[in-house]
Amino acid sequence: MVRNQSLAIAAGFTLVELLIVIGIVGALSALVVPVGLKQIESARARQEEAMVRGSLEAWVSDAFISGRAVRITANGRSLIVSFAGDDQAKVDMPLDYLFFHPFRTVEVNENGVANPSTLEFSVAGRNESINLNRWQTQ
């Protein structure tokens, strides 16, 4: 009996086809991954900036509501907050993405008025400032 070899069906992919697909996937990954990582870092920087802005506004409001002065020290990559009349109450906030320049101490009096009224910082390559007395009319 003679076997018919033309009826044999090849199943699966060849090694060359698999290598081509792996190469295409690798090239696309090399393009997409750095962009994704940059977006993640940018989002973390924006999140830290929002957290610091909110914390600073809360401390200024706390000074007004509680009637006690607050000292905010911005030193490079950290914020140190201390409350008048309470040496134990001190907040040290290390920062990963924000950089305060120059070194500055802000005194917030019991009326919630900050002096100086602004803090300058850098985040993600841009310079920003926070106005701590923004609720006051000029």
What is the set of domains in the chain, with CATH numbers? 15-131 (3.55.40)
Rounded distance between C-alpha atoms, residue 33 and residue 43, angstroms: 15
Whether a cis peptide bond, with omega within 30° of 0, leads into 34 is: no
State residue 138's pLDDT score. Answer: 47
pLDDT at 58 over 50: yes
1-30 mean pLDDT: 81
Mean pLDDT of the chain: 85
The residues facing 28 across adjacent strands are none
pLDDT at 135 over 50: yes
- In this structure, what token pair is assigned to residue 57? 């506004």
Give the residue among 102, 62, 103 at the shortest CA–CA distance from 85: 62
Q: Name the band, by pLDDT with cuts 50, 70 and 90, for residue 9.
A: low
Full-model pTM: 0.72
- In this structure, what token pair is assigned to residue 93? 């906030």
64-96 per-position pLDDT tens digit: 888 889 999 998 899 999 888 776 778 889 999
State residue 102's pLDDT score. Answer: 78
Rounded distance between C-alpha atoms, residue 136 and residue 134, angstroms: 5
CB 64 within 8 A of CB 112: yes
CA angle 22, 25, 30 (to 5 degrees): 120
- In this structure, what token pair is assigned to residue 111? 């009326």
State residue 64's pLDDT score. Answer: 86
